[in-house]
Structure 1
């Protein structure tokens, strides 16, 4: 109990006093009644020392603020789902019968819910969505577990693959790296069940970012290239371009400039022309010339290349204002590019704005990068 709350709070860079202020702000905004400031000081201390259990009303507030699951908040490892008792055939048959009612209309509802969560995440950040996403994944896993025939399993598995990959990226953003890894594994298994190589390639490539953030970029390069092989010849041109752009960024982090530039050239070659960004065959992929220019600037900034600045400013001018988290990342890229040129005032200004955006979305991942770049000022 002590480790969960304290770890999540420190990952945010919050003191206990800051956590209390955020709890009070949340309560005001959601018209909730909570204890006085003095009492909250006692509660937080006792929660972190394991002297008081976190009740559900406070757990709901803390999960929304810190982006943790209930198990993570309380320092528990996720336990496997309770198995069906040996003689519980009635319950098992009921679940199997219920799964047969999962129609294509219901699968579309699942996918629409994933899309809604993706939109909210893009604009407000992942931290406030942990309860909704946890419930969404549980519903999809339950539907898949008790579905029997392929005509039911495959569409449910496809919906689960998309939702699990989104949940994994959200977990990575809030600093829950083990949860991110497990969700990517779930997404990969679901993609294989659905026989969808594109979804498998996407989940595998995003999982490489967990390795990068963990300080293993060389292994991440191998994994993102394996993702390209997993996608095979059935991948859409836009997804192929996305995978090459991801490879370029990871190669830059691994200190492989030639490989990085070669991957960028391949991304440009594969990307379809036009302003459209959404891949109709893979709704989680957004990539057009503007996005690729931003990605190129990111990779070149990581390499310390002077060309990065011009690409990044073009991307900043074209950035969709609803992509709050992406804008925070772009500001970090600009700070890094200016630092490489010794332009410290400009770097400081972009880091200040990145810090504000990261605070709005609760992004621990961006906050860590901001702290690393700040040390270079």
Structure 2
């Protein structure tokens, strides 16, 4: 536990004083009782040195601040479902799952959408507990649903929620949790007989591989997602997968393949300029988003012209996409570094860091620090 608390703090780029400040701010916002600042200084030092155990409310506060689970922070055994004791309780749960209506599944989907909106605007860290509870509820419902007609709608809802939870875990630096959530999403998508959710989960899972340095395997996984999806998935998702493939090729230095994939993404993107497809609410992709993706890929390839696409994307960026905006500023920093424009790159990195700190994105912070080292 000692090293985990310290590593989580350092991944945020926080000093112990900053952590104390964040604890106090969170407690004030949530009306939670915490010790005085002087005592918190002692607590944090002793937590990190293994001389004090962490009790409530500090456990829940730290989970929210770091976006980590109890298992990841405190080395606790992962939560398990309560055992069913006897046939009466088993039958009761099966009956409860059997009567889940379409309206209940729609409620699950609305909850996922709410969590997606908060994540997009404010970051993933504070949603760890809510997301875990949401997945537990869906998993419980699916576990005791018996017949396919009852299971498929719940499995579809679980596939969408698990993919969101996985991306949130990746954003806060919890790679193992992200991978397991993507595997859950893929299993649920197969049960729901929904290739679009399967292809999407595979496409996002490729980024876990890329972040781990397995870019070539990541490209192969996106190619498999395109194969699995085929013609059965929305055109916007197909475009998204081609754009992801282009970015991964760029990370791997495969210029020709990257540019070909960008062309394929542009061809598949619907001309309606809608933000997302009604049948696939998790995919946000317009011409402006595609322009940003193209600029990002070209910057990774070292193309000096990438800056034009990126500034065009910044001008059309929805300010509510806080995390995406942080990534775009980092893209611009990289593009300016290619051109030897260090002062402009530093300015973009300051903007990227401010937004990454606001959303608590460990993934973006790591990229920002790598780019800062090149100034």
Provide Cα deviations, 1:305-334, integer angstroms capped at 9, x if missing partner: 122111001100000010000000000000
Provide Cα deviations, 1:173-220, integer angstroms capped at 9, x if missing partner: 011111111100110000001000000000001000001111111111
Alignment partner of 1:373 out of 366, 371, 374: 371
> 1:5: how far off?
1.9
Alignment partner of 1:306 out of 304, 307, 310: 304
Residue of structure 2 in register with 1:164 after alignment: 162
Provide Cα deviations, 1:101-152, integer angstroms capped at 9, x if missing partner: 2110000000000000000111100011111101000000000011001111
Residue of structure 2 in register with 1:258 after alignment: 256
Note the 1:1-377 alignment, pairs <5 A: 1-78=1-78, 80-81=80-81, 83-84=83-84, 88-377=86-375
Compute the TM-score of the two structures, normalised by the length of structure 1: 0.97
SS at match of 1:319: coil
Whether the aligned pair in 2 keeps the contact of 1:173 and 1:363 (CA below 8 Å) is yes
Provide Cα deviations, 1:319-357, integer angstroms capped at 9, x if missing partner: 001000000000000000000010111100000000000
> 1:42: how far off?
2.0
SS at match of 1:140: helix
Distance in 2 separating the partners of 1:370 and 1:342? 17
Q: RMSD of aligned C-alpha atoms?
A: 1.3
The size of the alignment, in residue pairs, is: 375
SS at match of 2:282: strand
Whether the aligned pair in 2 keeps the contact of 1:358 and 1:367 (CA below 8 Å) is yes
> 1:30: how far off?
2.6
Distance in 1 separating the partners of 2:39 and 2:318? 43
SS at match of 1:275: coil
* Residue range with higher mean Cα deviation, 19-28 or 134-143: 19-28
SS at match of 1:245: helix
Distance in 2 separating the partners of 1:97 and 1:17? 52
SS at match of 2:283: strand
> 1:83: how far off?
4.4
Whether the aligned pair in 2 keeps the contact of 1:3 and 1:75 (CA below 8 Å) is no
Distance in 1 separating the partners of 2:228 and 2:47? 45
Whether the aligned pair in 1 keeps the contact of 2:70 and 2:78 (CA below 8 Å) is no
Whether the aligned pair in 2 keeps the contact of 1:168 and 1:180 (CA below 8 Å) is yes
- Closer, same or farther: CA 9–204 of 1 in aligned 2, 3 Å: same
Structure 2 segments unaligned to the other structure (5+ residues): none
> 1:31: how far off?
2.8
Distance in 2 separating the partners of 1:139 and 1:172? 22
> 1:45: how far off?
2.5
> 1:24: how far off?
1.3
> 1:224: how far off?
1.0
Compute the TM-score of the two structures, normalised by the length of structure 2: 0.97
